[in-house]
Structure 1
């Protein structure tokens, strides 16, 4: 192991220790609408990851937007998965969902985030995913 690998290993261990939330990341499927009955059947989703993560807001304030004539507040988060986490079957993409299943901070449990992007780097200490809360 060279010096860089030793530094990265220490940084990755420190980042993993900060992963105190449990999250589930998945890709929602396309719902099926039956025109003859007028009913929508929710589609199955594709699981991408379930396990420890660090969920960190980027700031305490949100950005107000209008979506379909309805006001929304968007808050940005960074979700860091441990470097050693299993690689998901599909790369996350905008529109994928991250649910916070458990957290030492009870206010975080139940938080739903939408993926907006993901960072890739061989010298990162964690796999960081950009996401936003829409409320």
Structure 2
């Protein structure tokens, strides 16, 4: 094992220790509309990943207020790190949803984030996903 590979293995092990949240990454399905009843039919989401993660606000995340329909929404940016060696059934995409299902910080449980970008690198210690809180 090269010096670089040993350093990456140590860094990836350390990054895994920081992953104290459990998240579920899913792709929302296309909602349908029932013309007979006049109601929306929500489609089931496809789960892409469930497991450990580190969820933390980005340094520049100050919260940006925007109008969304008739409501004001504050966007806050987060970085979600999952284990570097994670395999998924399909690659995450912008618009996918990340739900925090467990955390030592109870205030984070039920936090819903939306994927805004992905970062890939063979020398990274974790797989990082950029997401935003749209509450």
Q: TM-score, normalised by structure 1?
A: 0.95
Q: Equivalent residue for 1:18?
A: 18
Distance in 2, matches of 1:71 and 1:49, equals: 31
Provide the residue aligned with 1:97 in structure 2.
97
CA distance in 1, matches of 2:18, 2:80: 11
Give the SS at the match of 1:44: coil
Q: CA RMSD of the aligned region, Å?
A: 1.0
Q: CA deviation at 1:33?
A: 0.3
Deviation of the 1:84 alpha carbon: 2.7
- Verify: 1:69 aligned to 2:70, yes or no: yes
Deviation at 1:100, TM superposition (A): 0.3
Distance (whole Å) between structure 1 residues aligned to residue 101 and residue 37 of structure 2: 35
For 1:24 and 1:75, locate their aligned partners in 2 and report how far apart those are by CA, in whole Å.
19
CA distance in 2, matches of 1:35, 1:20: 45
Report the counterpart of residue 29 of structure 1 in structure 2: 29
Aligned residues: 134
Q: Tell me what 2:85 maps to.
A: 84
Q: Which residue of 1 aligns with 2:48?
A: 48
Please say which of residues 124-133 and 27-36 is displaced more in the overlay: 27-36
